[in-house]
Structure 1
Amino acid sequence: MTGASTGIGYQFARICAREGYDLRIAADEVEIEKAAANLRREPGAEVVEALHLDLAKQEGIDKLHAAIGGRPIDVLTANAGRGLGHPFLDQDLARIRDVIDTNVTGTTCLLHRLGNDMSRRNQERILITGSIAGFTPGSFQAVYNASKAYLNSLSFVLCEELRDTEISVTCLMQGATETEFFKLADMLDTKVGSEDKDDPAMVARQGFDAMVKGEGDVVQSAVANVTPAEMLAKQHRKMAEPGSAKH
């Protein structure tokens, strides 16, 4: 489980611990050790291994793969991700690259590496955390929304390509959720960053239940599929423009 130190990823791990899964949780934050300690106290938890590594780098993917050590993977949740607010041209290029390296490149490498291992058993489940943001041109969140559009699309493709196997691929497309995302993305002064959001435990439960049922997607945004892109971009501006929060 990647991105499991906080938020939705941590809540996925809590559910899986209670279901009796042995866990290997990964994140590039030192909080992953604290998360593992808390998860070991969950009823049903037995093995919880914390892996402090950066999945935006090939070295991190290699370390995760080595830590698995050929053990069979029943469930893979690809939840690691980064956000970034403010106008595209004002964003720091190093942070832009970090979003792309984490959300797109790292997740792609992870899915390809572990997906091939899982295909040999032909009976696993994959859950990818996309977002309804992937259906919307993201004014003041341009790179993040574009990265989630990529993940949504990749998830749907994998689901279709693996349709004749026993491997299920589920895309969780959540809306705004109460996590560290908006703080780390420097979006606390935005409308979307300051308003009430969904409970990460509830979102994780919806995703887990859909994954167990083998559903291809959950919490899809229908409005994004029928509204013109230009209008969606204008609507998103009202939510994500710096200074749009009401005080």
Structure 2
Amino acid sequence: MAVTSAETARPLALVTGASSGIGYELARLFAQDGYDLLIAADQPAIVEAKQSLEGLGVQVTALQLDLSKVEAVDELYAAAAGRPIDALAANAGHGLGHAFLDQDWNDIMHVVNTNITGTIRLLYKVGAEMRTRGRGKILLTGSIAGLMPGSFQAVYNGTKAFVDSFSFALRNELKDTDVSVTVLMPGPVDTEFFERADMLDTSVGQSKDKSDPADVAKTGYEAMKRGDGDVVAGLKNKLQAAMAAVTPQTALAEMHRGMAEPGSGKN
């Protein structure tokens, strides 16, 4: 179902990974600010998210799509039906635990194609439209994981390093326009991420010290509204990001091993 082309004074926000967690909370913030929504996720819960968000008095179009696939990204973009997309929150992403050589190749490529390929294809389409129109806001969900080697989470951290770096490059390329690019870099968040990544037996997976997704979303949303280039959610994560900048990569890799190695949560 496509977004209707009826005349409306409300802006439109496209949010991916919006069935739960940070993505749902971002969609809720957009709705509270009067945006109509085009939301997507690969989970059936996107239907319940749509119903909940419609209760905020805005128009919501929801699609269950696997955004690791090019045709799914194109279907999502087409669902706007030519209506200008005023804000894009590219939040969809997947994790993957265990040692790289023990992972299934198809699972590896699904993470790469969701976190990188699908994300930049959507950005390519929406960003070009925004540049032509002369305005727009882009929020990417990166991670402080992109600042360190991710032992036993190597593919995920590598994809987030790409997202973090890409966001700064795109922001620079668009600096003479009114299109802003912001990257939100949270640490561990209390979502289904660790269960889906098969990391519940790890130290980080079992940690009780995870951020509230609503707080993380608010931090990113406010940074996007200000037009900031980047924001790290949470004081502890800010300290970790600062430490990562001055700590040798070999030491960071060993530290990450202690958090993400299978069975580390039993120590």
- Tell me the TM-score range normalised by the shorter chain: over 0.9
Q: Equivalent residues in 2 for 1:29-108 (5 A)?
A: 29-42=43-56, 45-108=57-120
Aligned equivalent of 1:217:
230
Classify the secondary structure of the residue corresponding to 2:211: coil
Tell me which residue corresponds to 2:254. 234
Any gaps of 5 or more consecutive residues in structure 1?
none
> Which structure 2 residues correspond to residues 116-131 of structure 1 after superposition, within 5 A?
116-131=128-143
- Number of residues paired by the alignment? 245
1:180 counterpart = 2:192: yes
Question: Deviation per CA, 1:144-178, whole angstroms, max 9, x where unpaired?
Answer: 00000000010000111111110000000100000
Task: Give the drift of 1:62.
Answer: 1.2
Paired position in structure 1 for 2:220? 207
Which position in structure 2 is the counterpart of 1:243?
263
User: TM-score, normalised on structure 2?
Assistant: 0.90
Deviation, structure 1 residue 246: 4.0
What TM-score results when the alignment is normalised by the length of structure 1? 0.97
Q: CA offsets, 1:100-127, max 9 Å, x none?
A: 0100111111111111111111111000
- 1:23 aligns with 37
Aligned to 2:150: 138
Which one of 156, 165, 171 corresponds to residue 159 of structure 1?
Answer: 171
Q: Confirm or deny that 1:115 pairs with 2:135.
A: no
Matches of 2:58 and 2:257, distance apart in 1? 46
**Separation in 1 of the partners of 2:85 and 2:245?**
34
Residue 150 (1) aligns with residue 170 (2) = no
Q: Counterpart amino acid of 1:160? A: N
SS in 2 for 1:127: strand
SS, match of residue 251 in structure 2: helix
**Cα shift at 1:143:** 0.2
Superposition deviation, residue 180 in structure 1: 0.6
Q: Tell me the amino acid that sits aligned with residue 8 of structure 1.
A: I
Identity %: 57
Divergent runs of 4+, >6 A: none
